[in-house]
Amino acid sequence: MGKKRHEELGLTDEQVLDMYRTMLLARKIDERMWLLNRAGKIPFVISCQGQEAAQVGASFALDRDKDYTAPYYRDMGVVLAFGMTPKELFLSGFAKAEDPNSGGRQMPGHFGQKKNRILTGSSPVTTQLPHAVGVALAGKMEKKDFASFVTLGEGSSNQGDFHEGLNFAGVHKLPVITMVENNKYAISVPLERQVASETVADRAKSYGMPGYQVNGNDPLEVYKVVKEARERAINGEGPTLIEAITNRLTAHSSDDDHTAYRDKEEIEEMKKNDCVHIFSQYLKDNDILTDEKEQELIKELDKEINEATDYAENAPYAEPEDALKYVYADKGGE
């Protein structure tokens, strides 16, 4: 009997089950965030639904004990895989003082956590790409063996920071992996009105690096290409551009109505290709997951999410006098 797909990639049954757990956890946290938003309890949601396979598959291919990541706002799967907890994500959603991203100052989705090497994101899109390139440059200068991993949407691939970051990375052969999560919409603007080249991955050649387009609904395919990219990065062979084709199953954010620019058939077709359901079926077909085990996992995650929600909802807000904390030095000259 031949090896299973994940075994051919060097992954154990336990590792792919952990991948699925992380994908499902991201999905269920996101679903809870929408409920809280609609109930008027949190102000804003920007969703990861439909993109979890790309996010988690890529993260599992990295060394999460030493690599750095500069995620974009949908990357709940990435930050969970890198060590952020449901409690911390809900503290961010509720904008509480203990929010590790910003102490309740930033909108949800602006991730940042020093201990897990998650670079702080800012609101203008694509600014994270030159930051990730800078981290890779520092690693090369200090002769460290880590990679820098940055993500963005395909809409962001049309910003100036994309060109400047990738050009610099290519010229200096830096250990940075750029993954574009192409969900085919920049808010409401469809792909054909954003990108003139056949693929985003095609742009890699002009920056002197390899480019790959992969099925972002398949975490194993994403894992394989990111793992190979990391090996090249660590071996001094420079950067890689990866385009993961995904689906955004929700509106752009809780302030958007995607039925204004997507028809019902398109939305229903996307839901049939839900990456979480597809990977669940792969695990069941390979006798790694059963319906009973899946129900146990759902119960376990629901409990974790309920506890995290309750904790965050009841946690204190930041004190008004702390508004300028971390903005200005407490004392001049120190």
Catalytic residues: 248, 252, 261
Q: Exposed (0-12), middle (13-18) or buried (19+): which is 137, by Cβ within 10 Å?
A: middle
Judge contact between 54 and 179, C-beta under 8 A: yes
Q: What share of the chain is helix, strand, coil (3-state, %, to 5)?
A: 50, 10, 40
Length of the chain: 334
Rounded to whole angstroms, how far apart are CA atoms 127 and 133?
A: 11
The residues, any chain, with a CB within 8 Å of residue 43's CB and separated by 6 or more, are 37, 95, 107
Placement of tokens 């702080």 in the chain: 120
Residue 30 structure tokens: 């996101």
CA distances from 5 to 9, 12, 52, 258, 282 (A): 7, 10, 19, 36, 10
CA distances for 95 relative to 107, 158, 244, 255, angstroms: 8, 31, 31, 18
Of 155, 160, 100, 106, nearest to 129 (Cα)? 160
Between CA 92 and CA 114 the distance in angstroms is 15
On whether the CB atoms of residues 119 and 132 are closer than 8 A, the answer is yes
Residue 95 near residue 104 (C-beta atoms within 8 A):
yes
